[in-house]
Amino acid sequence: MTNTEQSAVLMQGQGARARSRFFLVTAALMTLIVFLGFLPSFYLRPHFRTQPLPLHLIVHGVIMTAWQLLFLAQTILVARRRTDLHRRLGVVGVGLAALVVVTGIVATVLQPARLAEAGVTLPFPVELLVIGNLFGFCLFSGLVAAAFWRRRDAPSHKRLIFWACVVTLGPALTPARDLGAMIAPFFPAMFPPEIALGWIAWIALLLHDWRTVRSFHPVTIIGGFLVLFVQHALVDWFLMMDPVAAWARGLAQG
């Protein structure tokens, strides 16, 4: 093997390790955000809240936690080159993702009536909560389905899962959550934490792509546009439809 070939192999190995580290670190950070965001309202609720959660929210929270932990575990397995176990657990991931969507839709539809009964006033219109969450779960399901379809294309697969998990992080950072309310003053009013997170994730992934392969992967670009532009544009469009907004507001009446 010539010196040039040895250098190419060395650079390829370094690039692979950098890719593994990036997705491992981001998976750990996402898991930490979920834990901190839902710490007072779910994980340690008895210490922070007096009102118990209804069963459907407990089920949804457990399933979302299982999804997040599986995402972290899958990333660790890839970093350790245990792709055989990673592929077998992928089937579990598909089932968990389906449960995330089903329980998430149920929780979203029932949430306005629950908040109204508890006398909770949101810092944003309830229809934004409903329509935003429903579109979020639709986008999540589409990204996971695409990731399963592209499971043999590792660069596309890992980026699709990356974006699917970014979509699920928004609720942990909204002003309605303690973590979101705590860090919101450090962000401009037009650029709240749940929006800023998506941009930070996109910039980080773009920089990672450029650092490792000196180009931008199509899923990095398309995923960013879907999460940061298309989703919000569709939510705004549907909110301007009076029947849709009225239906969402009507959910508060049970």
Q: Which DSSP string do the residues of 7-36 spell out, in sequence order? A: HHHHHHHHHHHHHHHHHHHHHHHHHHHHHH
Q: Does a structural domain hold residue 227? A: yes
| Structural domain total, the chain | 1
Which is it for the CA torsion 179, 184, 187, 191, positive or negative?
positive
pTM of the model: 0.90
Report the pLDDT value the prediction gives residue 5, as an integer from 0 to 100.
38
Residue 41 lies in a domain: yes
The terminus-to-terminus CA distance of the chain in angstroms comes to 72
Q: 233 lies in a domain?
A: yes
The pLDDT profile of the chain, 254 residues, written as one tens digit per residue, is 554 434 333 334 444 555 669 999 999 999 999 999 999 999 999 999 888 999 999 999 999 999 999 999 999 999 999 999 999 999 999 999 999 999 999 999 999 999 888 887 877 789 999 999 999 999 999 999 999 999 999 999 999 999 999 999 999 998 888 899 899 999 988 889 989 999 999 999 999 999 999 999 999 999 999 999 999 999 999 999 999 999 999 998 86
Query: 136, 157, 126, 152: which is closest to 249 by C-alpha?
Result: 126
Q: Does residue 23 lie in a domain region?
A: yes
81 belongs to a structural domain: yes
In a domain, 1, yes or no: no
Q: Quick check: is 6 in a domain?
A: no
Per the structure, the complete domain to which residue 33 belongs is given by 12-253
Residue 190's pLDDT is: 83
Within a domain: 2: no
125 and 112 Cβ atoms separated by less than 8 Å:
no
